Structures are given as structure tokens and as C-alpha cells.
A and B are shown apart, each in its own frame.
Chain A
């Protein structure tokens, strides 16, 4: 084993909004990696949506050269990680590429759920953790309290925590000095066969798949024949390089270094995050540990409002998938909504981001059905059926049992709100596991909760019931049997498949009642009376009626301004176009999401 003594590979991890990306920007500035004139806020968040929402979706890696106080120049590889629980696996892979992390904690907000989750992940990966208390310029900053929370709650010594402000740049140099002093240089063996970890990838229209890698052992250079170990794909290395942050080709990447690889591969499915790259011949025999297939957790139907846009939607999904291998989809047809796709996502944020990108970048008008999860249905005939859409649920008579995915949820909340969290969790079929005081001001609570309940507005409810104080993190723990039934919604006597959903039997009556009421408010009055029913099998649980529209006249036409009058009619028509014609009933988009907003 030898050391690459002047290399430090580190990541910045934080709860959302604690200022991770701004800090990264300051690092780029301080090291003159990006000329001031090219400095766009949050350089590493390159997607528009990332910038707008202030979240990181894709991991990024950038090499900076830093002249330290000891007079020597170090190569620092900063690996920015996705900042959302949907992307936990990606975070874990990014951490595998590092030897240390800066754990950023907001000086006013203190330790939150993802701070804990990220710190745990870094600890499990055996990384050096340097606490950094950020935003010390805020009037509400309380670094001493936060220092205490880090020590008490996370058991991480924080005496030497860096005090910094991404906004003013204060403390950023100290942070880099701490990285050099505390994060160990990477270890590896230069004469062993190549082993490199793919921690992210993206698609370049001209170059194909670009893989971001950390070389663990050996070296990789242009012209080499390499193999992706998970799927045994052999290919040539067309280019290796480093990101500063633009791609800069280099001769080779040695052990300990971070950079990119371009191969001849055009199919992103062959270049998987977490996979190990080795030599095609005489390569490593064992891949790096920790690889797993990324599995979507949340599914929704996406339908073009205008049926003619179906081919455009398919093309758009194909294009997005190039940069987002976690996105999966298959055609789905609905009696109510026509042709569309059932699309699988890592989580709700991933879903929102994809839908927004489809509408914004590809100019599509989409209707999304309420998200669902993957149910495992075991039939009396002994078969297992995987159900991604309520439509595919087998007849109740042939179902032996149904299993649904469960999560272990971690909620951090001030003690005053423990009762509110308990109340919400109970209403969402969550099982309380344990709770502990992280400090006098923060309680950590653990629950096992069905994923299907969590995606139903749980986070918004949690936030509103705790006045925004609660933070949430979760991990997948496996499938459990539940008493689940399919609830159908009938409009004007006909089942609208896209409105069906799967619900716990004990909740079916109440959800059906609340949902029919909600739909009565959402569905505008039509030319005829529209009964709304909620039913299981043939049994009606709840019924509401949208009365027929009786009056629709425009008021006085002043002074012959018929243009204005016609514009009003056109506005009305446009509003209708945003609706979906289901049978004869015009249904606004909100209706398909109403189930998510059923506040009990």
C-alpha cells in the first residue's frame, strides 16, 4: 500500500438548505478554479431545476488545486452529493469515493434528520468527519448550541468545528486546511489491476456516457480495454480526464484520483452507479462492495393531456433516461386517460423533478395520476403478482395476501411537538419504535411506516403540524403483509380507472368519503348531474353529486367591446382544455391528485 500524499478526496454533506452548494461555490472561488466572471451562483448545481429549488439532484465532482498554509499544493477532489433522501444510494456511492466529509450544519437550524442520516452514512463508510457550522453570519446563528447538538446528538467531537459562512466566505480557508490536516490521503496500490468506482454518470449527446470515477487501485488511461464488472461489458477507454469543472483530458488517472471516463458506450444502462471498472484482461476478481441495482419506489401514470403528444412523451422519457438511469417506464393505457406511461421514480422529489422537466424542457402538458408503490400480491393459486398500478390489482376473490413496502422513518423534532408527530403517525398506520433525546431541544423518533402512507402528503402534514420544525429521513426496510383493498371511484356510474387507489381496509370507508367530498368540490358543474361514488368491488361506500350547471351567461356587453367578450369565452375554453374528458365528464387535473390531499 502506498499513499497519494497530496490528494484529498472529500465530500460536503448536509441537511437540505444548510448551504452546501454555496460553500462549494466559495471553494471554487478561493482556489481560482472558476474565473470570477464565470461564477454563476451554485456552479455545481447545473440543472435549472436544481438552481431554482436550491437542491442538488446529480452528484458532481470537481478537482481544485489548493496552496495550503504549509506552502505545498494539494489536489482536492470535491464530490458534491445529492441532498435529498430520494437519492440515498447515490450519496452512499459518492461517499465511497472519499476519505472524509465536511458535515455542514446550519448555525440557526441545528442538527436535522438528514444531518443525522448523512453523518451515519459517513461513519459507516469509515470516513473522517469534520463538522462545519455554516451561516454564522445569520442573526439567529447560535454556533454554541449547534456545537452541543453535534456532540450530544451525533457523538462527533465538535471542539474544533469550523465556523463558516458560505455567504461571506468566512471560514472557507480554515475548512480546506482542516481537510488537509484531518482527511487521510487515499491509499491504494499502483501495481494492482485497475479498480475504479463509478459514483455517477451523465449522458453527452456527442460523446455518449460519461462516467465519474474514483480510482481505488491501479491506473486507467486512454486506449485501455476495460470491463464493467456488474454486467461484464467490455469497452475501450476513449478519454480520461478531470473536471475543473469543465472536462479537461489527462493522460491517465492514478490510484486515489477522481475524474471521468468516456468509453464507446452509448447506453447508460451499461454504466451503472456503484459498479466497478477493471481491466478487460487480468482484471480484478472481486468488485468493490456495496453495488446494488437502483430500484424505483414510487410509481405514477403520466398521460399527455392532448393524446397526440403521446409519441413526444415517449421521446422525452427516452431522452431523460439517458441522464437518469433510475427513471424507468412502460406503456400504460387507461380507459379514462388514454395512452400514457407508468413511470417509476426513486421518490416523490424525483417524480416532481421529472414531471417538471418533461413539461418545461419538452413542452408537454401532462396529467399525473396519484403516486402508488410496488405491491406484491400473492394469489390463492400460489402466484406472486407485482402491482405497480391499482388497475393491475387482481380480483379480491383470488388474493391470498398483499405485501407492501415499509420504511424506517426518523423524525427529529423539538419536544413540544412529539404529540403532534405521534398523532400524525398513528393516523398513517405507522408503528412507533423508539425515541430518544438528542439534546434538550431535539427528540429523535423512529417509526416503521408503509411507503404508501408516506407518499400521501405525509411530509407536508408533518411540517405543518410541527410549524416547520420537524425534519424527516427514511430508509427502506422491506415488505410486510397488510390488509389492502382497491377502492374504485365512479363518475356518472362508470369506474374511472385512473382514480382507483389501494388503501388499507380499515381506512377505506373514511378515505372514500373524504375523497368523494373533495372531488365534488374539484369537478366543476357540467351540463348534467354527475354522481361521484367510492366503491370496493360492487359495494358503494360513499356518494356525492355534482349538480348540473344551470346558468352560464356573460353579463352586459358594454359599448360593443365584443373582443373582450370573446376573450372571456376563449379563456373559459382554455380552462376546459386543461381538463380531461372522462366519458362525458370534464375532470380537472387536480382531481387525479386529490387523494394525496385528503387531510384527515
Chain B
């Protein structure tokens, strides 16, 4: 690997591990790789083709390693439950992805059964690379298949075919890793038959995890524009609802149980990383536009670093010098500027949100209701959501079973109603 100048903060004195001694902070680590071979027609996330500048992939892998070292030095990575390399399409980095996976682990202490997921697409899945990734510690692949129907894939602007998707699933399963397949419903031009065929194909492929998402037409994407000018019909909500229900039945019959609004798994194959998001586990995000969520004390320690106060870093909106009193957790977002990230892997965030304990509880309650297991009465109470949950129960959207609140079959499809109501009930109380 090429050598790069070490970042300055490492030599700066005076930071201490903000974690209380004894039990280390359990956290997740997310790495955002903003490169794709081609942007899909529905995508409004941060991605671009990787530049053909020589050494770009290595440079990116190095920068991610620098970021990880920074957080490790602050003690944020003393007990890592999961690592997720997402994007974009991480596998566009080719062999450099192996060094990326290795470098993020350097300095991090992983729990014994830590999950390390790499996101990939059928067209960038290379069996040899997959094997090397397993060697570097990867335990799980998340494959963006979206559909096993070539006509639908063309509408989405995907680069692969149903056949190459099947091949990719086989190759990934052959490595011995767990494999998850993403499927998308509610696509213009997609029929119920096409959808059930895709779900069945996913089941038949032998994967232990399937994610099911209804398409959202994001403004400004080619697909949204095509729908607006009448090239396609806008997705039909009723049909999408039928598709989601069909998926639930088919996958359940095939042994994959729904454990989250969009996720189905064979028992034991649930994603540790995603579950972390729904249960309030802190996470460190590295890479352009990556989001992090940390306890206030840890964020305060980061502020004190020299690298964060450097005004030369792109993406600095404001000078951060303290955390408002009464903050329990902080969520922050790095700038989406890849060049800035490569120049300065460690730097201040572009957006910061300070959450009070009440807001944090409301958020945990809202997100926890995405899970089949729901949330405890204690959390509902703490989030100020007991009353609204009662109202939602009367409307048939949630149910109260064995000391927990969880969404019903109808509630799954109308998740936003539930999430929004719980969040607002909690934050209104927080403001009062």
C-alpha cells in the first residue's frame, strides 16, 4: 500500500477516552463508498462513477482507515458489534476493498461474533474478490438484485440481468458467507406475477435474508421524470401493498420470518447491523455523506481534536465548540464531497443534530416499532408514547402483547402513520 502522510491529530496531545472504565461502548461502524458503475434510474443517494485516476481506490481505502483510527483512538471502536460497508457499490473498489476491510478493523475491537457486511451488485460481484473478502473477515454480503425480471431491471436502469443475479448469489453463497438479497416492489410496469416470481426466485436461491422495499419515486431521478411525463404510470399504492403482503406470505412459508418492516430472515440470520439502527445502538460513519450517532460525551471528545477545528477542511458549516447542555446523543453527517474526504479523512461534520433524552427516547420508540418484537412498555412510557399507542391500537395499527407494543399486519403497510405519531407525541412532550 502506498504511504500517505499521517494525519496531524494523532500527534496532538490531550484526548482521553471518554468512555467510563469498565464496560466499553458497544457500537456499529458504517463505511460509505460513494462509487457506482452507473447510477440507477430511481437512485437519489450520494454516488458517482469512480474516477479512473490511478490509485483512487487505494487512496479511498487509506482514507477510510485513517477515519477508523481516529475513532478508535477516541475509544469509539472498543466494542464493535457490526461493520457495514455500503454505498454506492463498494465492490467497484476491486481488490482495494480488501485493504479497506482490513484497515477499518485495525484499532477496532470486534465482539466475538461480529458481523461484517459488504454491499455488492450482481455486475460487480467477482468470486475471487468475494473469497478474499471472506479472508479479511467479511461474514455477510448484501446483494442488490431488486428483481429477477429483466424487463423490470431495464426500467430501473440496473446494469445486470436476472441470470447474472442468480450467478452472483451462487458465487457469494459458495464463499460460505451469509447472503441477503434486496428486492424492490411497486415499480412502474411491474406486475404482481413478476413480483411473486422474483420473491420465489430469491427463496429458491437459498439465501437466508431478503429485504423488501417499495419503490419511492424521488424527485429529480430519471424514473420520477419518466413517470411525470407519462412514460410510465406512477406506482400504484394498492398494488404495492398487495406485493408487500404477497412477499410476507411467500417468504414466511419459505422459512424467512419478518423481523423488521422491510427485512425477512431465517432464524439466526437477522442483520445485527440494521437491528442496531432500530435499537439505539451508537454508530460511527466514515466516508462522504456518512451519518454517525454517538453519546454526547464522545462527540465532545471529538470536537476537542485538532482535525475538527481546522478551518481549512471543506464542509465546515460552523465552528463547533461545545455540546448544548441536556444533550444525550448527537447525530452528525459528513459532507458528501468525496474529494474533501480524500484530502482530509478526519474532519468536522457538515450537519449536526443534538438530541435531548426525550427526543432520543422518542426516536428509539419510533424506530423500535419497525421491529417485529416492537418496544417495551418501559420505552413507550419513557418516550411519552403510551397514550398515542393506545390511539393507534384503537385504529388497528399497533397491538399490545405480553408487555410489548408492536405493529399489526395493517400497521406494517402504514408504518409512516405509526412512526410519525409516535415521534411527534414524544417530541411534543419533550418541548413542553
Cα(A103)–Cα(B83), bound, Å: 78
Given known contacts A527-B395, A559-B86, A562-B293, A551 and B241 CB-to-CB distance under 8 angstroms: yes
Q: Is the CB of B293 within 8 A of A560?
A: yes
Determine whether B320 belongs to the interface, using a CB cutoff of 8 Å to chain A.
no
Name the A residues within 8 Å of B238 (CB-CB).
547, 550-551
Cα(A557)–Cα(B216), bound, Å: 12
Q: Is the CB of B291 within 8 A of A563?
A: yes
Given known contacts A551-B237, A551-B413, A569-B416, A558 and B216 CB-to-CB distance under 8 angstroms: no
Given known contacts A527-B414, A552-B413, A562 and B277 CB-to-CB distance under 8 angstroms: yes
- Partner among A527, A553, A562 whose Cβ is within 8 Å of the Cβ of B214: A553
Given known contacts A547-B238, A558-B86, A563 and B415 CB-to-CB distance under 8 angstroms: no
Cα(A525)–Cα(B238), bound, Å: 11
Q: Is the CB of B416 within 8 A of A562?
A: no
In the complex, per-residue mask of B356-384: 1 if CB is within 8 Å of any chain A CB, else 0: 00000001001100000000000000000
Cα(A338)–Cα(B21), bound, Å: 60
Name the B residues within 8 Å of A553 (CB-CB).
214, 244, 261-262, 412-416
Q: Is the CB of A555 within 8 A of B283?
A: no
- The interface on chain A, measured as residues whose beta carbon lies within 8 A of the other chain's beta carbons, has a size of 23
In the complex, per-residue mask of A526-541: 1 if CB is within 8 Å of any chain B CB, else 0: 0100000000000000
- Partner among B367, B417, B423 whose Cβ is within 8 Å of the Cβ of A552: B417
Q: Is the CB of A551 within 8 A of B240?
A: yes
Determine whether B406 belongs to the interface, using a CB cutoff of 8 Å to chain A.
no
Cα(A116)–Cα(B72), bound, Å: 82
Determine whether B420 belongs to the interface, using a CB cutoff of 8 Å to chain A.
yes
In the complex, per-residue mask of B187-218: 1 if CB is within 8 Å of any chain A CB, else 0: 00000000000000000000000010111100
Cα(A569)–Cα(B369), bound, Å: 15
Determine whether A549 belongs to the interface, using a CB cutoff of 8 Å to chain B.
yes
Residue in A closest to B277 when the chains form the complex, CB atoms: A560
Q: Is the CB of A550 within 8 A of B413?
A: yes
Cα(A558)–Cα(B331), bound, Å: 14
Interface residue SS majority, chain A:
loop
Cα(A372)–Cα(B70), bound, Å: 68
A-B pairs under 8 A by CB, number: 92
Determine whether A566 belongs to the interface, using a CB cutoff of 8 Å to chain B.
yes
Name the A residues within 8 Å of B186 (CB-CB).
551
Name the A residues within 8 Å of B366 (CB-CB).
566
A residues 37-56 with Cβ under 8 Å of B?
A: none
- Partner among B237, B290, B415 whose Cβ is within 8 Å of the Cβ of A559: B290
B residues 331-351 with Cβ under 8 Å of A?
A: 331, 333, 351
Cα(A572)–Cα(B424), bound, Å: 12
- Partner among A525, A549, A560 whose Cβ is within 8 Å of the Cβ of B291: A560
Q: Is the CB of A560 within 8 A of B413?
A: no
Name the A residues within 8 Å of B333 (CB-CB).
561, 563
Cα(A566)–Cα(B262), bound, Å: 17
Cα(A562)–Cα(B237), bound, Å: 24
Given known contacts A560-B283, A562-B293, A573 and B424 CB-to-CB distance under 8 angstroms: yes
Q: Is the CB of A554 within 8 A of B416?
A: yes
Cα(A556)–Cα(B290), bound, Å: 15
Determine whether B30 belongs to the interface, using a CB cutoff of 8 Å to chain A.
yes
Q: Is the CB of B213 within 8 A of A562?
A: no
Determine whether B32 belongs to the interface, using a CB cutoff of 8 Å to chain A.
yes
Q: Is the CB of A562 within 8 A of B420?
A: no
Residue in B closest to A573 when the chains form the complex, CB atoms: B420
Name the A residues within 8 Å of B214 (CB-CB).
551, 553, 555
Q: Is the CB of B419 within 8 A of A569?
A: yes
In the complex, per-residue mask of A490-522: 1 if CB is within 8 Å of any chain B CB, else 0: 000000000000000000000000000000000
Determine whether B285 belongs to the interface, using a CB cutoff of 8 Å to chain A.
yes
Measured CB to CB, the closest approach of chain B to A550, in angstroms, equals 4
Measured CB to CB, the closest approach of chain A to B236, in angstroms, equals 10
Q: Is the CB of B416 within 8 A of A572?
A: yes
Cα(A566)–Cα(B291), bound, Å: 14
Given known contacts A549-B237, A550-B237, A558-B45, A566 and B293 CB-to-CB distance under 8 angstroms: no
A residues 564-596 with Cβ under 8 Å of B?
A: 564, 566, 569, 572-573
- Partner among B240, B241, B285, B423 whose Cβ is within 8 Å of the Cβ of A560: B285
Name the A residues within 8 Å of B213 (CB-CB).
555-556
Measured CB to CB, the closest approach of chain A to B421, in angstroms, equals 10
- Partner among B216, B353, B363, B395 whose Cβ is within 8 Å of the Cβ of A555: B216
Name the B residues within 8 Å of A551 (CB-CB).
186, 214, 237-238, 240-241, 244, 413-414
Cα(A562)–Cα(B290), bound, Å: 11
Q: Is the CB of B84 within 8 A of A549?
A: no
Q: Is the CB of A561 within 8 A of B414?
A: no
- Partner among A547, A560, A564, A569 whose Cβ is within 8 Å of the Cβ of B420: A569
Given known contacts A559-B290, A560-B30, A563-B351, A527 and B417 CB-to-CB distance under 8 angstroms: yes
Question: Could you jot down 24 A-B contacts, CB within 8 Å?
Answer: A527-B395, A549-B237, A549-B414, A550-B414, A551-B241, A552-B413, A552-B416, A553-B412, A556-B213, A557-B277, A559-B32, A559-B86, A559-B290, A559-B291, A560-B28, A560-B30, A560-B277, A560-B293, A561-B289, A562-B291, A562-B293, A562-B363, A563-B333, A569-B420
